[in-house]
Chain A
């Protein structure tokens, strides 16, 4: 099973700041990595698929990069609606696996 390790676990930030979330895989997942956003009481929402492709309707301030074992989700300028938990997920191998999540909270 591929283990995805996200860091940091929590980010305390203010609106307007740049956000960088890391996801490291225990073995190569090629570019087969996705990112999700989840707000309290809501289902997750796909942000990025296959490392760097924004999903439909996702604002341009969200971007993804990386390949192999190291990936990054970047929010260029944090907006109030972006405070949430972010998860990475790999689809390179069965079983599909998620990272443990990164909570972006108000500073």
Chain B
């Protein structure tokens, strides 16, 4: 069974930094693209970032480009999102989501399954 478990969410001051993680199991992690998707309180879904299975290809939403960095450690089956220069508008539940088979290259995907999410709150 595929499982994705996020961790690292916290209350952070504006301008601060945070790294959230996603531990994956139940599949060959390095063969699949992975994504971060966020949902602000009471709002819809917003795709944040994607990374190929090898980690060589990354993509970002314009709203986070230059501030957030997606990465992965295939030896630990773990996905990361480093978030810098955080703003109030970044407050959301951050979900990691498995994409389609993608060992390398750019593989835009649907998301299946999703983790349970981790809450990042940016406030002074």
Contacts and interface: CB of A to CB of B under 8 A. Distances in A.
Interface of A: 1, 32, 34, 36, 38, 43-46, 49-50, 55, 87, 89, 91-101
B45 A46 contact: no
Interface residues of B, number: 22
B111 A44 contact: yes
A96 B108 contact: yes
A32 B108 CA distance: 9
B45 to A, nearest CB: 4
A106 B34 CA distance: 35
17 contacts: A32-B108, A34-B111, A36-B111, A43-B95, A43-B113, A43-B116, A43-B117, A49-B110, A49-B112, A89-B110, A89-B111, A95-B47, A96-B47, A96-B50, A98-B45, A98-B46, A100-B44
